[in-house]
Structure 1
Amino acid sequence: MTITIKTGADIAALRIAGRLASEVLDMLTPHVKPGITTEALDKLAHDYIVNVQGAIPAPLNYQPPGYTPYPKSICTSVNDVICHGIPDGRALKNGDIVNIDVTVIKDGWHGDTSRMFVVGEGSIAAKRLCALTYEAMWKGIAKVKPGAHLGDIGHAIQTFVENAGFSVVREFCGHGIGQVFHEEPQVLHYGRPGTLDVLVPGMVFTIEPMVNAGQRHMREHNDGWTIKTKDRSLSAQWEHTLVVTETGYEVFTLSDGSPPPPAFINT
């Protein structure tokens, strides 16, 4: 599989799709509180994407080879769920953490992003995991520039996470994105510097580290989608979509409600 290099027109379309995906999370933010079900959040997101944005929720009925069709419009991964949690009728409780992963298709182009939310009053440990995972994503983003390697991104994330005493999930990774939901390259969140593909302007991909408070190992739920930590420890994830530019990178999945980048990005 080859990596598709996006044109200026492609990038303009991806910029719009990315912003729309982030704006779904902005809309959901005030609703993420104790007592709401993830199913209710899914309905809010679905209606907003379809009726307000005039877009399509990419996860709905998405079916990679070997999978059953995904039944909802967003992914909601609560507490020990690493990724691909299916919204259901269980209410969020005070102290839960939840990743909400949104992908929209606008005019044929995908925008993909996710954020962590702490429901009500979270524990110090839960807040630290979410904050550290956010920093880890940006440690990877900061490595993006022409001539760098994909391995540089993974190495930056892995060393930062493991030095803090957490672990990086290895079975799932970031990915190229465009008119197809998942393209080449695969963007690992661990690795060695100077390895894997060289970054060139026009490459578009996600960086989306999944970080566990305990061991990195996972187990698959019997619904065929939900992935949980094997040791039942908490897991967190953040995701942005970006393009390699002539001088560095541009993040597509930013909106008015996006958390600000860490201080080390602005210096």
Structure 2
Amino acid sequence: MVRAKSNQELTFMRKAGIIVALAHRAASAAMRAGITTKEVNDIVEDVIRKNGGEPSFKGLYGFPAATCISINSVVVHGIPDDTKLQNGDIVSVDIGASYHGYHGDSAWTYTVGEISNNARELLMIGENALFEGLKMVKAGNHLTDISHAIGEYVYAHNCSVPREFSGHGIGTSVHEDPSVPNFGSVGHGIILEEGMTLAIEPIVLAGKPKIKVMNDGWTVRTKDKSLAVHFEHTIVVTKDGYEILTAWNKEELPDNG
């Protein structure tokens, strides 16, 4: 069942979102050639815990780390390890944090040194697709209005989305109903209500929408080895639009609650 969150629940989710944003700031600052993905993961986990949160992904469905770190053709669920980042890499970092049992979830794709023009264009398309979807978030709209806006923007720029992954509801669980696909027609799904919380997350591939899961059971790559980007924010539906709970411009944790 999809339900609107109470004011107290939203207070906890705002705090969780700010912790996620602080962790993303730290991850962004750490992006340099030579650092390992495990070192980035450790930086993120440290920020989450020092700010009173718990890493949402650690142990979730058996995932072994606090973050998913996916490089270049890795679509999602890259496991942090001793792999060193290199100049020219694009790196998707997916971070979740819980505060008093309520979760925030955000992914962003970063650059290491100078990247190719094609990679830079893909990052622009991925980030813009997120905000095209967010334009359709407001009370009274259908859920798939978001999906349609994302998909049409991506397809218009000759890219694709993997159909196996979608955005989702979020609250006391990282993944709640409803599923929020990154493609589809308008006017379907639930009617959005003020107070509903969603994680909107376009995953955009430069090539064909075919993927494969690697032998570790987690890491997902593009089948044609094309680049992938991932952009995600946790939001709450408002009467006239949305509030981003994982925005970077919230400087510190609010005192209330």
CA contact 1:18–1:110 (8 Å) conserved in 2: yes
Q: Greater shift after overlay, 22-31 or 136-145?
A: 22-31
Partner of 1:156: 149
2:59 to 29, 54, 61: 61
Which secondary structure does the structure 2 equivalent of 1:168 belong to? coil
Structure 1 distance, partners of 2:244, 2:45, is 24
Partner of 1:43: 42
* Residue 169 of structure 1, CA deviation: 1.4
Q: Matches of residues 1-12 of structure 1 in structure 2 within 5 Å?
A: 2-12=1-11
What amino acid does structure 2 have at the position aligned with 1:144? V
Structure 1 distance, partners of 2:11, 2:180, is 22
Structure 2 distance, partners of 1:249, 1:59, is 25
Partner of 1:13: 12
RMSD: 1.2
Deviating runs (4+, > 2 A) in structure 1?
none
CA contact 1:150–1:188 (8 Å) conserved in 2: no
Partner of 1:27: 26
Partner of 1:263: none
Query: In percent, how many aligned pairs have the same letter?
Result: 39
Partner of 1:239: 232
Structure 1 distance, partners of 2:153, 2:63, is 33
Which secondary structure does the structure 1 equivalent of 2:60 belong to? coil
What amino acid does structure 1 have at the position aligned with 2:177? E
What amino acid does structure 2 have at the position aligned with 1:27? A
Task: State whether structure 2 residue 249 is matched by structure 1 residue 256.
Answer: yes
Task: State whether structure 2 residue 179 is matched by structure 1 residue 180.
Answer: no
Q: TM-score, normalised by structure 2?
A: 0.95
1:166 to 151, 155, 159: 159
1:207 to 200, 210, 224: 200
Which secondary structure does the structure 2 equivalent of 1:243 belong to? strand
Which secondary structure does the structure 2 equivalent of 1:90 belong to? coil
Q: TM-score, normalised by structure 1?
A: 0.92
Structure 1 distance, partners of 2:65, 2:26, is 18
What amino acid does structure 2 have at the position aligned with 1:34? A
Partner of 1:265: none
Q: Structure 2: 5+ residue runs without aligned partners?
A: 252-257
Structure 2 distance, partners of 1:247, 1:40, is 41
* Residue 195 of structure 1, CA deviation: 1.1
1:131-161 per-position Cα deviation (integer Å, ceiling 9, x unaligned): 1100000000010011111111111111111
1:216 to 204, 209, 213: 209
Partner of 2:80: 87
Q: Structure 1: 5+ residue runs without aligned partners?
A: 64-68, 259-267
1:69-121 per-position Cα deviation (integer Å, ceiling 9, x unaligned): 11111010100011111011010010010000110011111011011101110
Structure 1 distance, partners of 2:242, 2:31, is 31
* Residue 257 of structure 1, CA deviation: 8.6
Task: State whether structure 2 residue 111 is matched by structure 1 residue 111.
Answer: no
Which secondary structure does the structure 2 equivalent of 1:20 belong to? helix
Structure 2 distance, partners of 1:71, 1:152, is 35
CA contact 1:169–1:209 (8 Å) conserved in 2: no
Structure 1 distance, partners of 2:102, 2:218, is 24
